[in-house]
Amino acid sequence: MDGGFCPESESELPFPARRVHRRPALEGVRAMDHPDDLLESFAFGEAPEAGPHVAACPQCSARVELARAVAGWLATSHVAAPPAGLRSRVRTAALAIRPSSSGSFASAYVAEAADLGVLLDSLSPAQWSAPTVDGRSVRDLVRHLTGNDGNVLTDLGVAKPAGERWQDQSDLLLRTVGQSNETLLDRPVRLAGKVPIRRPLREALTQRAFETWIHRDDIRVAVALPPIPPASSHLARILAFGLAMLPAAIQAAGRARAGSVLLDLTGPGGSEHVVRMGTRAPQARPAEPRPEEVRPAESRPEAGWAGQARPEMGRTEVAQAEEAGAAEGAWLAEVRMPAERFGRLMAGRVPVTPAVAVVRGDRSAAFDLLAVAATLGCE
Amino acid sequence: MRSHADDVRLRAQLVAAEEGALTEAYDLHAPSAYALALRITSDPSWAEDAVQEAFVELWRHPERFNPTSGSLRTWLCMLARRRAIDLLRRQSAQRDHLTRLAGQAPVEPTVEEDVVGAAQAKAVRECVRDLPVLYRDAIALAYYYGLSYRQVAVELGVPEGTAKSRLRSGLRLLAERMSAAGYPMDAA
């Protein structure tokens, strides 16, 4: 039988020599202050009053770590199938005290926040000071992310947590969106970026995912780790978010013209997109317009990318390419590149060079699109 | 065995109230939490209560789980242990713990574990089995029943200092043997 705690199976092992535990003179911690009787209880999850001392005392911390490790092993030394009905009872009881989130709108941000959390947990003190791509330290970059997460919380009317820990603020944002309803999801909040723009929370969360991914990879590169793309479904969502803003950004940048460009993003997260080259110019040859595209371009508000009232973007400007339109050559140009590269280009992490994409047709239109796309990142 | 990254992802999903993360955590870790609660209480219905409250607590406050301090499984087991001990204490303040300990049959694995997790669990059971009984009892009383040094000393009929040194020596010896078996402390 594998070992339970059965007194009758006493072994003949010799009593191990006791170690002499010296108590070094700790600055600010007198020996008599050690909560010696509570250390194991604290390690087992009780006696929280010992926590502050343990955190400041290497000697007690070492004892706690040892006991905690053993507790972890003991806790998981056996498994037994719980009764069949317990799973649903747990679910019912849990959801009764805290409802589940109502959709997957935050899933990309959840994933990126988790990936960043794993990375930050692994950093050494020296790595926190490492310079990133734009000269800011890792610490400064995390502070920047924290600030932008905090702006969203502020706009939602949620009091920010004390301190500047990214994890605390990210947790609060996740918890807030996890309990959000349609009203909250529609509430405009600041997007990160040089130009103040507000978009509904549901869209802002995708931008938070975008920015968190890009800065997570900035940090990875700074500490000599290879960048890794988001999951394909999350990348697709991030790209759709950026592309929805692109016509207004092209308009605001003074590069608008009639017609569309077919953007063929390949690989994981990729698909074909038709991007209008502005929000005001009429379409050259609209191919199979969708109902929402029938609305005359002139009736739309001014382009908002440069900070005007409310940017018009989204469903009306971007549509999945249709085979018929492509066959008719309805596009000013066709631009083909990997989806991940386009995402990094949007963040300004990939320069717009002639070789960045395969271009057919009007190169001027194609590179205007790419040049403006490269301004869509935060900073 | 789940990785640190898996635990961080589940934590983030739990904070965001993604119900799928709760069921995933349950499916992964309930067998460990239930086995532990059952060992402590020797009562299936109490063990169920302890497990349920552990998962409800995780769902209510997932932020309190710190993945840098240990695994999600360990965290959930800690919550279940605490609740199970509470139930035990409520039942009888004068319980003869040693008698219970002697009569306690170890819970054998009854569900499929992942290979790495099963190997570690087996190593723990073997290291525990090979501990001197003086140490084993001290650890069991403190860990499974949540007894203080003073209470352990009363149970064992030894001075308080002896109870403390037995517990600490036992913990240290167990850690050393686990380390020798390929499971260093920093991987616990």
Closest CA relative to residue A75, chosen from B155, B50, B181 = B50
| Full domain range(s) for residue B37 | 1-91
Window 87-116 of B: residues touching A by CB (8 A cutoff) are 98, 101-102, 104-111, 113
Q: CATH no. for residue B8?
A: 1.10.1740.10
Angle, helix A201-222 to helix A166-178, in steps of 10 degrees: 150
Question: Could you give the percent of chain A with pLDDT greater than 70?
Answer: 78
- Of the residues B91, B115, B131, the one at which a domain ends: B91
CA distance B37 to A97: 23
- Asked whether A201 and A184 are in contact (CB, 8 A), the reply is yes
What would the two tokens of residue A166 be? 């990214």
- Of the residues B91, B113, B138, the one at which a domain ends: B91
Closest CA relative to residue B167, chosen from A5, A3, A32 = A5
Q: Tell me what pLDDT residue B85 has.
A: 93
Q: Do domains A107-222 and A232-373 have the same CATH topology?
A: no
Query: Domain tally for chain B?
Result: 2
pLDDT in tens, A235-293: 999 999 999 999 999 999 999 999 999 999 999 999 999 999 999 755 544 444 343 33
Angle, helix B4-15 to helix A107-122, in steps of 10 degrees: 140
- pLDDT-derived band at A195 (thresholds 50, 70, 90) equals confident
Contacting residues of B for A175, CB less than 8 Å apart: 15-17, 63
Least confident of A8-12, A216-220, B11-15, B161-165: A8-12
Quick one: average pLDDT of A105-110?
90
Are residues B1 and B54 both part of a single domain?
yes
Quick one: average pLDDT of A30-54?
86
Are A11 and B79 a contacting pair at CB < 8 A?
no
Quick one: average pLDDT of B137-149?
91
B140 shares contact with chain A (CB less than 8 Å): yes
Are A111 and B12 a contacting pair at CB < 8 A?
yes
**Domain coordinates of chain A in residue numbers?**
25-75, 107-222, 232-373
Are residues B45 and B77 both part of a single domain?
yes
Residue type, A378: C
The SS3 of residue A150 is helix
pLDDT in tens, A76-104: 888 899 999 999 999 999 999 999 987 77
Are residues B143 and B75 both part of a single domain?
no
ipTM of the complex: 0.87
CA distance A150 to B163: 50
Are A101 and B120 a contacting pair at CB < 8 A?
no
**Residue A89: closest C-alpha in chain B:** B52
B42 shares contact with chain A (CB less than 8 Å): no
What would the two tokens of residue A14 be? 């010799």
The SS3 of residue A186 is coil
Q: Which fold has domain A107-222?
A: Four Helix Bundle (Hemerythrin (Met), subunit A) (1.20.120)
Domain A232-373 indexed as CATH 3.30.1050.10: yes
Are residues B108 and B85 both part of a single domain?
no
Residue A308 confidence (pLDDT) above 50 = no
Contacting residues of B for A62, CB less than 8 Å apart: none
Q: How many CB atoms lie within 10 A of CB A264?
A: 19
pLDDT in tens, B36-51: 999 999 999 999 999 9
pTM: 0.80
Q: CATH no. for residue B106?
A: 1.10.10.10
Are A79 and B79 a contacting pair at CB < 8 A?
no
| Mean predicted lDDT score pLDDT of chain A | 81
